[in-house]
Homo-oligomer: A and B are copies of this chain.
Amino acid sequence: MHEQLNFIIEILGTISFAMSGAFAAMQKRFDPFGVLIIAFVTSIGGGTVRDILLGIPVFWMHDVFICGVIFASCMLAMLVKSFEKKFRVTLFLFDSFGLGLFTIIGVQKGLSAHLHPIICLTLGTITGCFGGIIRDILLNRIPLIFRKEIYATACLVGGTVFLFAVKYLSFSYAFVQIFTIVTIVVVRTLAVKYQWEIPKFYWSNKHNTEM
């Protein structure tokens, strides 16, 4: 049952990542093929970078099912684009659950490779966030997570909770996993609801730091 729950969450996360990519590409007036590429990259980008860094086979290369899910999500996004506002909350929830699970998967893969907890946390953050970063690079804009949202921060908080619980507490694995995902969902929901923002740096002098 635990395996099945994970599988369902992973699919929901993939769907919502793919749809977020597809909507962003349609806003920029891409053609359907471009929309598909952006949806694909947003969904699998984070895991791909993680697997390349770990030097293990890239997960989607042997998983046609996930490619089919992304394709179907992309079609769905194209069909319902006028109603996008209506199911924004649903997508937000899917996306948060997906972010939570993706972070955990990244941390776990790091632990399996016997890496230091800090590196595992980095891999979790990469799995959760890099899909969106690559999407924004392809859309030629500054990645939003750097400027606007408690997104990467939710990843970091969740990953730390997960690592701590796995290492030092004796709860069952399934419980720790669910608890981490709920933490990430709650942090993100509260952040959006109460418009939390991390303070930014203000930089008045107009000068150049590159040397």
What is the size category of the interface that chain A forms with chain B?
35 or more
Known: A48-B53, A81-B201, A119-B64. A210 touches B144 (CB 8 A): yes
Q: Is the interface of A mostly helix, strand, loop or mixed?
A: helix
A31 touches B210 (CB 8 A): no
Least CB separation from A143: chain B residue = B138
Query: Which of B31, B92, B118, B145 contacts A198 (CB under 8 A)?
Result: B31
Query: Which of B61, B85, B141 contacts A54 (CB under 8 A)?
Result: B61
One complex includes copies of this chain to the number of 3
Q: Which of A4-12, A32-40, A100-108, A164-172 contacts B (4 or more CB under 8 A)?
A: A32-40
Mark contacts of A16-29 with chain B using CB atoms, 8 A cut-off: 1 yes-contact digit, 0 otherwise: 00001001111111
For A95, the chain B residues whose CB sits under 8 A away are 211
For A209, the chain B residues whose CB sits under 8 A away are 20, 23-24, 27, 84
Query: Which of B116, B156, B200 contacts A31 (CB under 8 A)?
Result: B200
| CA A118 to CA B23, docked complex, whole Å | 24
Interface status of A184 (Cβ within 8 A of chain B):
no
For A62, the chain B residues whose CB sits under 8 A away are 115-116, 119
Could you tell me which A residues sit within 8 Å of B by CB distance? 20, 23-35, 37-38, 48, 52-55, 57-58, 60-62, 64, 67, 78, 81, 84-85, 88, 91-92, 95, 115-116, 118-119, 122, 132-133, 137-149, 152-153, 156, 192, 197-203, 205, 207, 209-211
